[in-house]
Structure formats: C-alpha cells, structure tokens
Amino acid sequence: MVLSWLRPGHRHRFFCKARCDGHLTACSFMRFFPFLLAAVALLPPTLAAAQVAPTPGFERLPSGTEYQLFRRDAAGHYAPRPLNPPGDAPYASRQGQVLLINLQYRTDRDSVLMDTRQMQARQAPAGTKPQPVPVGLGPNPGKGTPEEAMSLLLPGDSAVFRFNADSLFGKAGQPIPPFIKRSGNGFRFVVAAKELLTADQMRARQQAMQAEQQRLAKARSAKQLLKDDATIQAYIKKNKLTTKAKKTVGGTWYVITVRGKGVLPKKGQTVSVKYRGTVLATGKEFDSTAKHGDTPFDFVLGQGQVIQGWDQGIAALPKGSKAMLLIPSPLGYGERGAGADIPANAVLRFDVELTGIK
C-alpha cells in the first residue's frame, strides 16, 4: 500500500532521505556502482590481461577477469571446480534464463562493502524470508564484465571474482573512491549461485511472492487498525468527545467543531484545506499550513492523492467546517511512518478547515 504525503510532487521533509544501514564506505560504493558496471563494459579484453600473472590463488579468463570457482564435494566441503569449456551444453541451455545469487562486494583486504543477503533481510516485509538476487543470463556477456563472471556459474557453485580498480576507474577518467584505494587496488565479488529459473518461472515466483506479501500486509493492517481504534476511542472518552465523535465506514474518526453551511464535497472535486497535523501519542506537530504561508492545500478528493484518512475525513465535512480528524495508522503512514517526526504505526490528529470546493 502506497501512502502519499499530503502535497503531491512536494519533496517534504517527512520523506526519508536515502540512507544506508551500513558504514559510509558501503553507501559510497553503492553510489559508484552503476558507474562501475558501465566502466567495466568499456574495457578492452587485453587491458586487465596485460598483467604478468594472475593474483595468487586465482585463475584468469582471456578477458582479464580473475576467478576462483568452488563446489561442495561428497563430504560437504568446498573444493575447486574446473571451468567448463566454452560452448558447454549446461551453459548454452541457460541463455535467457535467470540465475538467483547471493552476492558480496569486498575490497582486496576483505572488507565487506555490500552484502545482498543483509540488504534483502532489511528490506524483506515482516513475515517473509529474504530472497536471492535475480541475474538475467544473456547470450553474449561483455568481455571483462560482471555479466561475464556470472555466466561462469551453475546452481550450487560458489565463486570469487576479482577486478582491477585502476583499470575500471582509470578507463572512465574517474578517481578511485578513497575507501577502495585505501584497501588495495582491487575489489571482489563473492557469489553463491542458488537456483536457475526460466523467465516464466521467475515471473510466476515474483507474482506469488507479491501476493503473499500483500496478504501478510493486509493481515497486519487489520490487526493494527483494531489496536489504533481502541486508542482513538480511549482518547475520545478521555477528552469527553463521545457525543460528538463519528466514524467513517473506512475507519477514520472525526469531530466537527464548527459545522459549515456549505455542501459536502464529492469524489473527483478539488477541495482546499487548512490543517495542523500532530502525533496523537505525543502531541508533537509535524506539519501545518501555517508553515507554508497559511495557504490552503488543494487536492482532488477520492483519488488517492493524500492519505486515506484525509480522503475519508474531508468527505464527511460540509464546506466551511472546522474539524478534528483522528486517523489510525493504516489509514495514515502505516508501519513505515514518515521521516523522523511520524514514527511507525502512529495514530495522527489533524485539525482541519475545509475552505473551498471546486
């Protein structure tokens, strides 16, 4: 469920800035990574191969990519695996399929810059397991590219691929990021190949995962809605608003403090609203029209341009009304919250005035 901020197109402070949960080095690497992939593709095959010998412990492809391939033996121990010859049937049959992998980026000194398993674990919705990353296998991977490295893998393989930082960044005329330069002249991909799927199988799996995530999210939302409704009713009772408070069919509570003499707004009409928003539990204000020159906020009612609690609550107010909206978190910003000022699963109070209907 996408929960929109009140002002469409407005980059509000309640949108979290992109941030990483790891060290600064990992964040920096991810900013450089799209460039890095493009730079690898520009390298001529002989550039990295011009070194006298591979890094100790590694084999080298003609393109210059260095690698170590492993597979578990009968005893369950990892043992080196020889590279299959070019055009080998198991590889040719994989073209157009999807390889699922776990992947780490490491410096030459073995510092982990990024780990897809950790990233997937952080991003996986509650109640679901982190999944390997899908990599499409094309017919002609570029020489010396990460795609070429991935094309060497079969399900069950583990591997380490090493790339030369000077070659990659120098070719594109870019300096080597300090966090890589301090750790040697190379970086490594540590990969575990988990499963091979056809495009149709991958599509079906993604659809099944999305359906399961939606089911779990709906169940969590229903449970949280009951909890928040009890919180709101306790607030209403404490503040002696029982005879004035009403509830929409969708679950938003509202108390009209000044009833306007105008008509009720209809779905599809543009409404103008002045507001002040606070977190019910703390009373802390997170936004108001007063902070925006006291200019009413315009939006089209019932089109999902605002949080659901607004679409429901404003629709219940005649033009000119002033009211208090009490919004359960699933009808507000849900389990993600919004920035630093609206925590996860926060019940919200909005004091609003419906100033216009167009």
User: Which positions ≥6 away from 170 have C-beta within 8 Å?
Assistant: none
Contact 157, 73 (CB under 8 A): no
Catalytic (active site) residue 115:
no
The closest of 315, 326, 309 to 233, measured between CA atoms, is: 326
CA distance 178 to 180: 5
Closest by CA to 144, choosing from 57, 50, 34, 47, is: 47
Structure tokens at 316: 């219940």
**Which among 89, 7, 73 has a CA at the least distance from the CA of 299?**
7
Is 33 a catalytic site residue?
no
The amino acid occupying position 11 is R
* Residue 350 designated active-site: yes
Spatial neighbors of 158 by CB under 8 A, at least 6 apart, are: 69, 70, 71, 78, 190, 191, 192, 193
φ, ψ at 221 (rounded to 5°): -65, -45
Q: For residue 119, give both structure tokens.
A: 């990233």
Q: Which two tokens stand for residue 308?
A: 């659901």
Annotated catalytic, 161? no
- The SS3 call for residue 11 is coil
Catalytic-role residue among 101, 105, 333, 357 = 333
- Residue located via tokens 């002609």: 140
Secondary element (H or E) of residue 150: helix 146-150
* 8 Å CB contact between 300 and 268: yes
Is 351 an active-site residue? no
Could you say which of 286, 299, 314, 357 is catalytic?
286
Q: Which of 119, 139, 138 is nearest to 130 (CA)?
A: 119
Query: Does the annotation mark 287 as catalytic?
Result: yes
Catalytic site residue from 157, 228, 287, 311: 287
Catalytic residue (one of 307, 314, 342, 357) = 307
The single residue of 67, 297, 299, 350 carrying the catalytic annotation is 350
Concatenating the DSSP letter of every residue in 152-193 gives T--TT-EEEEEEEHHHHHHHTT-PPPHHHHTT-SEEEEEEEE
Q: Which of 14, 189, 275, 299 is catalytic?
A: 275
Residues catalogued as catalytic = 275, 286-287, 307, 333, 350
